Structure 1
């Protein structure tokens, strides 16, 4: 690389570190161009383009500390190595092809952003669990079934002095249309330990003609070996408060598809940074604090509907044969006949990630309950 090219490239890096938003191919130098290089080697095009987009999102208010973190962040998972900038002399014909940073795909930028957000989450630590003085005279319960609903309500009841478990608890299995149960099971796994992409995860279970443990309501009941009088399978969510011995329950917010996908990527990085037992608590903290974008929750694609419908009918027959009390109608387990919403793409997930990198308020604000 010639001295002129090196000065131009390092000048652009300095421009980005100062909050600049000029794309690489539009960069013609400027007062900072001939300045001293920030390092002996240039950051990769992924890091440089992510910093430029973070600058755009923060209106140029990116701090030097954040800029240095972005430029030094590695890319997580499988993918391309750090990519060189196009338009610089000195290429050898070996190694990755030089690129225009503006044309680096959203998936490559997400590999860098997920590392930054995982570091933020580990530094933040897990939120402490809210609890109150236990009311031993209240009905004891254990929640299984719909993982998103069970997780949210379990924590809500603990804050009211209603811990899960105890002697002879009522086992309450929370049901829903099976397509929603599948989508929520995958979503909650994204916010716990991470998992495969949704399409791959569904295919895994369809090829085995099985349901995940927390989706199969009968299997969830049998796992606890509860007696029939102490079991309730609830398919009518409006009647759930009475089964738990309360008057009202909060509305459960299901994370959007972009939130779940970003959490899935962050979980894989967090798993490399902390012991396995600490990851679920950190990811649950992320679930509470992650800002929303208005995206709809993930939806089972149409090509899987036939398998889902057959599985729902089979689960309903097995529950009826087992004779457990049902609050609602087993027909409500059938998938809803809805037009699937458009799939969330990598760009929407990247937009959310950039928003979180540029605006650290999600780490400092109080948690909404």
Structure 2
């Protein structure tokens, strides 16, 4: 790094370099620029802009660069960090080399940009059809990913949930998978605590969350034995809800769920409470596929999951509910080895966030569809 008599001029020169699409790291930058009255952005914003410039899907437009530099860092974490090598007042956050900033800190800025994009996009319309009075009346509980997709499909063909004396259809999965899908769907609705913390919360109470507790969900809707079906064979689910087929359910990867969790927290601050579900449903449909595996229950939690699954099997059997499939399918899968990753990797999440910030394709789908309809 070449020294300079005016560190502020050097910093402003680097900001201008990044705004013009540059990718030179801070410690390798030696040129100077013209200082302005505007305060310098934080190191998180500057490093995120540099990494956006490095993405081959670029270039980053000046408008997007200005948005990145002005974006705050959401959630719990450090305030805007000063650049190492600049005069330091001796209090506040310590100066840093931007290249050493963690992916978690950069995601705090990226999630704000994506939340603003989502709010500007608006919620996709929900397909509906005239209700059919002769339909089979059902209430869906259990696996939230399958239940949500099934519920939307039924609404589109004129078979909405509810009605007098409905059949309660409880969609079962191996409990470890059901827990993972419950957290994932929560991320795409109102947000949640991080995956490991969420699991620990329920394990310490030796309870299951509402959607993963099939028996409690059935009781909550007043399900009586002749009007309850516990479905563990998903190939037979369409017949139980009165249709010939159902759409294939897309299971988000760990990075998609984690990014949605962060975006949901910011969206909740941008819009009224009743608007957030529609916006997050839109994100769930449009978020790019990264190929990452879904979250999984770590080996240290498997003993608790196995005990909870055994209680569920006993309760279903004792109450005499009809099971479409095999009740043993509610048992968890074998415990993974400790070397198998179970949660999201912040670096993969950041890669997905950068892809979505740079490439606006996920925001253009509705525009193209509207043009085709016209």
1:258 is the counterpart of 2:255? yes
Q: Contact (CA 8 Å) 2:143, 2:212: kept in 1 or not?
A: yes
- Cα distance in 2 for residues equivalent to 1:39 and 1:297: 47
Query: Could you tell me the TM-score, scaled by structure 1's length?
Result: 0.94
After superposition, where does 1:328-343 map in structure 2 within 5 Å?
A: 328-337=325-334, 339=336, 341-342=340-341, 343=343
Bigger mean CA deviation after superposition, 62-71 or 51-60: 51-60
Long gaps (5+) in structure 2:
369-374
Q: Contact (CA 8 Å) 2:255, 2:292: kept in 1 or not?
A: yes
Q: Deviations over 1:262-287 (max 9, x none)?
A: 11111111111222222122111111
Q: Contact (CA 8 Å) 2:170, 2:230: kept in 1 or not?
A: yes
Among residues 300, 305, 318, which one is paired with 1:303 in the alignment? Answer: 300
Among residues 119, 123, 131, which one is paired with 2:116 in the alignment? Answer: 119
1:98 is the counterpart of 2:95? yes
Q: Deviations over 1:167-218 (max 9, x none)?
A: 3322111000000010000111111111111111111111111111111111
Q: Contact (CA 8 Å) 1:288, 1:367: kept in 2 or not?
A: no
1:361 corresponds in structure 2 to 361
Shift of 1:3: 6.5
- Cα distance in 1 for residues equivalent to 2:71 and 2:36: 15
After superposition, where does 1:192-203 map in structure 2 within 5 Å?
A: 192-203=189-200
1:129 is the counterpart of 2:131? no
2:16 corresponds in structure 1 to 14
After superposition, where does 1:29-44 map in structure 2 within 5 Å?
A: 29=31, 33-34=32-33, 36-37=34-35, 39-44=37-42
- Cα distance in 2 for residues equivalent to 1:224 and 1:299: 29
- Cα distance in 2 for residues equivalent to 1:292 and 1:367: 20
**Cα 1:60–1:5 shift into 2, 3 Å:** farther
Query: Could you tell me the TM-score, scaled by structure 2's length?
Result: 0.93
Q: Deviations over 1:1-57 (max 9, x none)?
A: x8722221111111111111111111222xxx43x3354311000000001111111
Shift of 1:58: 4.7
- Cα distance in 2 for residues equivalent to 1:313 and 1:38: 66
After superposition, where does 1:212-251 map in structure 2 within 5 Å?
A: 212-251=209-248
- Cα distance in 2 for residues equivalent to 1:277 and 1:70: 28
After superposition, where does 1:137-156 map in structure 2 within 5 Å?
A: 137-156=134-153
- Cα distance in 2 for residues equivalent to 1:367 and 1:226: 43
After superposition, where does 1:166-181 map in structure 2 within 5 Å?
A: 166-181=163-178
- Cα distance in 2 for residues equivalent to 1:147 and 1:127: 20
- Cα distance in 2 for residues equivalent to 1:153 and 1:27: 55
Q: Deviations over 1:235-284 (max 9, x none)?
A: 11111111111221121111100011111111111111222222122111
2:161 corresponds in structure 1 to 164
Q: Provide the secondary structure at the position in 1 that maps to 2:283.
A: helix
1:320 is the counterpart of 2:322? no
RMSD: 1.9
Q: Contact (CA 8 Å) 2:184, 2:257: kept in 1 or not?
A: yes
Q: Contact (CA 8 Å) 2:298, 2:336: kept in 1 or not?
A: no
**Cα 1:217–1:257 shift into 2, 3 Å:** same
- Cα distance in 2 for residues equivalent to 1:68 and 1:283: 25
Long gaps (5+) in structure 1:
none
Q: Provide the secondary structure at the position in 2 that maps to 1:232.
A: strand
